[in-house]
Amino acid sequence: MAEFVLKYADSQGQVRQQVESAVSEVELRDRYSQKGFLVYSIRPRGRAGVLSGGFRRPKKLDLAQFLIFNQQFMTLIRAGLPILKSLELLSSSLSSPKLAEYIRQVREDVKSGALLSDAMRAQGAFPPIYTTSIMAGEKSGSLVEVIERYVNYQKLALAVRKKVLVSLLYPSLLIVLVTGLVIFLVTYVVPNFAELYASMQAELPPMTQALVYIGLAAKKHILFFAAGAVLAVFLFSLWLRTERAKAQFDRLKLRLPLFGNIWIKYQVAQFSRVLSTLLVGGIPLLQALETSGDSLGNQLLRNSIRSAGKLVREGRPLSAGLQQTGIFPRLAVEMIEVGESTGALPAMLNSVAEFFEEDVNTRMTAALSLIEPLIMLVMGVFVAFVLVSLYLPIFSLAEKIH
């Protein structure tokens, strides 16, 4: 008998993982399903390959290409093609070589007897919400509907993300240009003027002396400054690898004036959208909470959702668990409470996502409309300071000549 790593939810909704002996994966899955347990995944223990449980680095996936794949996959299955044939056709026609390789590996695993959800989860590249939804579709016999819901969710998520990125594009470009201008003035223009004044033996006013000192130091030690900046970024990235550091950094972002509020609302909107999609797909609340939390790129919010999940497992309402975290906005908690009391939690979560996405868009536009003039003002003040400091000695020399 072979040994398998089994992950399942017991009758209390507690997610468990353990090693079990069985003749095959199918036999082990049937055994636990008959006991009323919800089986998440089964993989052979200690075997190399796509289904092994060894360490693998997180893989990046082109979400736009993945969306196209799912639209085509849904169309082929709806047309009556078997899953294996659909995967074979798509793996040879995808424009993304990386995604095509993942799909070929999935096809090989499914061909060898693995479930589609297990095969996709084993790749370590597909989003948790997707693999969990596929598992629900397999169990309920509604794979096409599940994929269609995921496609709709992904379209909305990409649209919101695109709006945010487009809003940030111009301010980011402006900051880069201003930074480049500052570096050019301090490391090139100021030292040249310093040489000119030194050759003329001019008496410099205090503000010019300060600027010249900064410029000469920057020019002399620019490589050290650059190396220090790179080292600081490297050390910061190392520090951020721990969960505790990520949570501390997220807490710091939450305290940022103006943007902290926007940031948490964007995260809440994303969480609500994912949780609604999973609940509509038939995923139990506890598992949906776990998956939606894992799908967020925010350690502080993930920890809060885990805490809320523990309270839900003890019989508390979801709204009470989220309120106790102290992070979720009060309006979101109250809307979720109404959804729970009326039995329309998935629809209310969609409403929460739509409300906060619109609020984020409005607040982001307002904030950027204030930041752009502020950047221009700071740049203008700095340039004016540099010009006055550099040309003031020239005016003094001209007065002495006359």
Token readout for 250 is: 């997220």
Contact 155, 146 (CB under 8 A): no
Q: What is the pLDDT of residues 90-142, one digit of tens each?
A: 888 888 888 888 898 888 888 887 888 888 888 878 888 888 888 878 877 77
Q: Taking residues 195-200, report their average pLDDT.
A: 77
Token readout for 335 is: 């809307």
Find the helix or strand (DSSP H, E) in which 55 lies.
none
Q: Taking residues 212-227, report their average pLDDT.
A: 83
**What is the structure's pLDDT at 372?**
78
Q: What confidence tier does 25 reach under pLDDT thresholds 50, 70, 90?
A: confident
Q: What is the pLDDT of residues 140-151, one digit of tens each?
A: 777 888 888 888
Q: What is the pLDDT of residues 348-380, one digit of tens each?
A: 998 998 898 888 888 888 887 788 788 888 888
**What is the structure's pLDDT at 57?**
43
Q: For residue 95, give the 3-state DSSP assignment.
A: coil
Does the pLDDT value for residue 49 go beyond 50? Answer: no
**What is the structure's pLDDT at 11?**
65
Would you state the CATH architecture of domain 142-402?
Up-down Bundle (1.20)
Q: Which long-range contacts (CB under 8 A, 24 or more apart) does 126-129 make?
A: 126/61, 126/66, 126/102, 127/61, 127/295, 128/291, 128/294, 128/295, 129/153, 129/274, 129/277, 129/278, 129/291, 129/292, 129/295
Domain residue limits, the chain? 1-52, 56-126, 142-402
Q: What confidence tier does 393 reach under pLDDT thresholds 50, 70, 90?
A: confident
Q: Taking residues 3-25, report their average pLDDT.
A: 73
Question: Which of the residue ranges 200-209, 297-306, 374-383 would you say has the lowest mean pLDDT?
Answer: 200-209
> What whole-number distance in Å separates Cα of residue 229 and Cα of residue 220?
16
Q: What is the pLDDT of residues 289-302, one digit of tens each?
A: 888 887 777 778 88
Token readout for 284 is: 């139990």
Contact 66, 131 (CB under 8 A): no
Does the pLDDT value for residue 53 go beyond 70? Answer: no
Does the pLDDT value for residue 206 go beyond 80? Answer: yes
**What is the structure's pLDDT at 257?**
78
Token readout for 377 is: 């003002």
Find the helix or strand (DSSP H, E) in which 24 lies.
none
**What is the structure's pLDDT at 59?**
58
Residues 6+ apart with CB under 8 A from 232: none
> What whole-number distance in Å separates Cα of residue 103 and Cα of residue 42?
19
For the chain, give the mean pLDDT: 80
**What is the structure's pLDDT at 48?**
40
> What whole-number distance in Å separates Cα of residue 167 and Cα of residue 277?
27
Q: What is the pLDDT of residues 259-272, one digit of tens each?
A: 788 888 888 888 88
**What is the structure's pLDDT at 51?**
39
Percent of the chain with pLDDT over 70: 91
Q: Taking residues 310-318, report their average pLDDT.
A: 87
CA–CA distances in Å: residue 93 to residues 100, 103, 110, 315 = 8, 11, 19, 49
**What is the structure's pLDDT at 187?**
82
**What is the structure's pLDDT at 398?**
61
**What is the structure's pLDDT at 399?**
60
Token readout for 247 is: 């949570």
